[in-house]
Structure 1
Protein backbone atom coordinates (compact mmCIF):
# COMPACT_ATOMS: atom_id res chain seq x y z
CA UNK A 1 0.00 0.00 0.00
CA UNK A 2 1.26 3.49 -0.83
CA UNK A 3 0.38 6.59 1.19
CA UNK A 4 0.62 10.21 0.20
CA UNK A 5 2.96 12.60 2.01
CA UNK A 6 1.31 14.25 4.98
CA UNK A 7 -1.17 11.40 5.24
CA UNK A 8 -1.76 9.59 8.50
CA UNK A 9 0.03 7.02 10.63
CA UNK A 10 -1.35 3.58 11.53
CA UNK A 11 -3.54 5.08 14.26
CA UNK A 12 -5.44 7.19 11.72
CA UNK A 13 -4.27 10.51 13.14
CA UNK A 14 -2.63 13.04 10.79
CA UNK A 15 1.15 12.97 10.57
CA UNK A 16 2.70 16.37 11.24
CA UNK A 17 5.62 17.42 9.04
CA UNK A 18 8.89 18.13 10.84
CA UNK A 19 9.54 21.80 11.68
CA UNK A 20 11.43 23.81 9.09
CA UNK A 21 14.99 24.72 10.00
CA UNK A 22 16.94 27.46 8.22
CA UNK A 23 19.90 25.92 6.43
CA UNK A 24 22.01 28.98 7.20
CA UNK A 25 21.28 30.22 10.75
CA UNK A 26 19.27 27.34 12.23
CA UNK A 27 16.09 29.35 12.92
CA UNK A 28 13.01 27.15 13.30
CA UNK A 29 9.48 27.53 11.99
CA UNK A 30 6.60 25.22 12.90
CA UNK A 31 5.02 25.34 9.46
CA UNK A 32 5.87 26.61 5.97
CA UNK A 33 6.36 30.36 6.04
CA UNK A 34 5.52 32.49 2.98
CA UNK A 35 8.63 34.64 3.54
CA UNK A 36 11.08 31.71 3.63
CA UNK A 37 13.01 30.59 0.55
CA UNK A 38 13.19 26.99 -0.63
CA UNK A 39 16.21 25.86 -2.64
CA UNK A 40 17.11 22.50 -4.15
CA UNK A 41 20.88 22.02 -4.02
CA UNK A 42 22.55 18.77 -5.06
CA UNK A 43 19.14 17.11 -5.03
CA UNK A 44 18.36 18.11 -1.42
CA UNK A 45 15.68 20.63 -0.46
CA UNK A 46 16.85 23.40 1.90
CA UNK A 47 14.89 26.21 3.49
CA UNK A 48 16.21 29.67 4.43
CA UNK A 49 14.51 32.12 6.79
CA UNK A 50 13.45 35.54 5.61
CA UNK A 51 16.45 37.23 7.29
CA UNK A 52 19.02 34.99 5.60
CA UNK A 53 17.11 35.24 2.32
CA UNK A 54 17.22 39.05 2.45
CA UNK A 55 20.90 39.15 3.41
CA UNK A 56 21.84 36.91 0.47
CA UNK A 57 19.38 38.09 -2.16
CA UNK A 58 21.99 38.79 -4.85
CA UNK A 59 23.55 35.32 -4.48
CA UNK A 60 20.11 33.70 -4.53
CA UNK A 61 19.11 35.60 -7.66
CA UNK A 62 22.45 34.63 -9.23
CA UNK A 63 21.56 31.00 -8.44
CA UNK A 64 24.68 30.39 -6.36
CA UNK A 65 24.53 27.45 -3.95
CA UNK A 66 24.39 28.51 -0.29
CA UNK A 67 27.99 27.31 0.20
CA UNK A 68 29.07 30.40 -1.82
CA UNK A 69 27.20 32.86 0.39
Structure 2
Protein backbone atom coordinates (compact mmCIF):
# COMPACT_ATOMS: atom_id res chain seq x y z
CA UNK A 1 0.00 0.00 0.00
CA UNK A 2 1.35 3.44 -0.83
CA UNK A 3 0.28 7.05 -0.35
CA UNK A 4 -0.89 7.44 -3.96
CA UNK A 5 -3.00 4.27 -3.87
CA UNK A 6 -4.61 3.73 -0.44
CA UNK A 7 -5.88 0.28 -1.45
CA UNK A 8 -3.74 -2.71 -0.45
CA UNK A 9 -1.85 -4.56 -3.15
CA UNK A 10 -3.97 -7.27 -4.75
CA UNK A 11 -1.47 -9.96 -3.78
CA UNK A 12 -1.22 -8.94 -0.12
CA UNK A 13 -2.78 -11.17 2.50
CA UNK A 14 -5.43 -9.50 4.62
CA UNK A 15 -5.99 -10.42 8.26
CA UNK A 16 -9.37 -10.01 9.93
CA UNK A 17 -8.97 -7.43 12.71
CA UNK A 18 -11.50 -9.31 14.84
CA UNK A 19 -10.81 -13.06 14.55
CA UNK A 20 -7.44 -13.22 12.77
CA UNK A 21 -8.63 -15.10 9.67
CA UNK A 22 -6.12 -14.70 6.82
CA UNK A 23 -7.23 -14.23 3.20
CA UNK A 24 -5.22 -13.94 0.01
CA UNK A 25 -5.88 -10.77 -1.93
CA UNK A 26 -8.96 -8.68 -1.19
CA UNK A 27 -12.07 -10.88 -0.85
CA UNK A 28 -15.20 -9.09 -2.11
CA UNK A 29 -17.19 -10.28 0.92
CA UNK A 30 -14.92 -8.64 3.51
CA UNK A 31 -15.66 -5.27 5.11
CA UNK A 32 -13.19 -2.41 5.43
CA UNK A 33 -13.59 0.12 8.22
CA UNK A 34 -11.52 3.25 8.82
CA UNK A 35 -11.25 3.94 12.54
CA UNK A 36 -9.16 6.82 13.84
CA UNK A 37 -7.45 7.02 10.44
CA UNK A 38 -6.48 3.32 10.39
CA UNK A 39 -7.96 0.72 8.02
CA UNK A 40 -9.37 -2.42 9.61
CA UNK A 41 -10.55 -5.40 7.58
CA UNK A 42 -13.20 -7.85 8.79
CA UNK A 43 -13.97 -11.28 7.32
CA UNK A 44 -17.46 -12.07 6.07
CA UNK A 45 -18.32 -14.06 9.23
CA UNK A 46 -17.35 -11.24 11.59
CA UNK A 47 -19.09 -8.72 9.33
CA UNK A 48 -22.33 -10.72 9.42
CA UNK A 49 -22.15 -11.24 13.19
CA UNK A 50 -21.73 -7.50 13.81
CA UNK A 51 -23.84 -6.01 11.03
CA UNK A 52 -25.93 -3.77 13.29
CA UNK A 53 -22.88 -2.26 14.96
CA UNK A 54 -21.21 -1.74 11.58
CA UNK A 55 -24.29 -0.07 10.13
CA UNK A 56 -24.52 2.08 13.26
CA UNK A 57 -20.91 3.10 12.57
CA UNK A 58 -19.69 1.98 15.98
CA UNK A 59 -15.94 1.39 16.23
CA UNK A 60 -15.05 -2.30 16.52
CA UNK A 61 -14.13 -1.78 20.20
CA UNK A 62 -17.90 -1.51 20.85
CA UNK A 63 -18.78 -4.86 19.28
Same fold? TM cut 0.5: yes
TM-score when normalising by structure 2 = 0.82
| C-alpha distance in structure 2 between counterparts of 1:43 and 1:67, whole Å | 15
In structure 2, runs of 5+ residues without a counterpart are none
TM-score when normalising by structure 1 = 0.75
**Aligned: 1:56 with 2:45:** no
Contact 2:10 2:25 in 1 (8 A): no
Change (3 A) 1:53 1:43: same
1:1-69 maps to which residues of 2 (within 5 A)?
Answer: 17-69=11-63
In structure 1, runs of 5+ residues without a counterpart are 6-14
Aligned length in residues: 57
CA offset digits 1:19-56 (Å, max 9, x no partner) = 10000000000100000000000100010000000000
RMSD: 1.7
